[in-house]
Amino acid sequence: MRHLRHVVGAAAVVAAASTMLAAPAIASPAAENYAALGDSYASGVGTREYFDDSGDCRRSPKAYAQLWADSHGVSSFTFNACSGAVTDDVVANQLSGLSADTTLVTISIGGNDVGFADVIQDCLLGTDSGCDSAVSEGEEKARNELPAKLDSTYAAIREAAPNAEVVVLGYPRLTELGDCGIPLFSDAKRQRINDGSDVLAGVISERAQAAGFTYADTRDAFDGHGVCSSEEWINGPSNPLVESFHPNVDGYAKGYLPVLESVTG
């Protein structure tokens, strides 16, 4: 495990949260015009390898989108996902390159809108009750604020790419219960984080399906491979901190990519 054995200073941990129902398979054209949108889980943060020209967006050659494009002989690939993005950023900064010719769009978004980076920080550094309160606040935002933001974002994507199949990839549960080398990261905290991930999953799934998009649930794929497992596909507290609580290379290749392929072929 690549954990920092002491979590003092983990206040800058960047995280996202997690996610419901696999959807019917999409017929995949021989050559796609593909666009990848979203936040750090879409850009590939956690892999420790990024394209030089991507700057703070941290787009990785090991991200699920890049792996899919590389293996499917796409006609064009627009990689606009960016670390730290919220729904408003997608609408403002990531829709360039989408058009009536775009045939496939993927997106992972919503975790930053509900503040799950702060949740992870509070759960790592605080008490069980403090963690519970932080997760509850995130869940409230997911239920009461996120739906309208997702609806607006999905509508903007549909307008920009009217003929595209759109796949919304959810977030995995972040942690496993049981023995763990992270000080003070109790089972109660880890369970509460996973509970919050499930709430987020339900909201994203519902709004994606309401928009006529395909929701691709990643939670089962990552089962047994969260933080504190014996075979982690998600980084624990890491150095640099931005890598923390994001999928590692295996997480994107063995978790996200097969889920995406299960709905696109």
3, 18, 40, 225: which one is catalytic?
40
Mark whether 28 is an active-site residue: no
Q: Which of 3, 72, 225, 246 is catalytic?
A: 246
Q: How far is CA 255 from CA 47, 55, 221, 260, in A?
A: 13, 25, 5, 9
> What is the rounded distance in angstroms from the CA atom of residue 107 to the CA atom of residue 167?
7
- Please list, in sequence order, all residues whose beta carbon lies within 8 angstroms of the beta carbon of residue 70, skipping any fewer than 6 positions away: none
Is 246 catalytic? The answer is: yes
Residues labelled catalytic:
40, 246
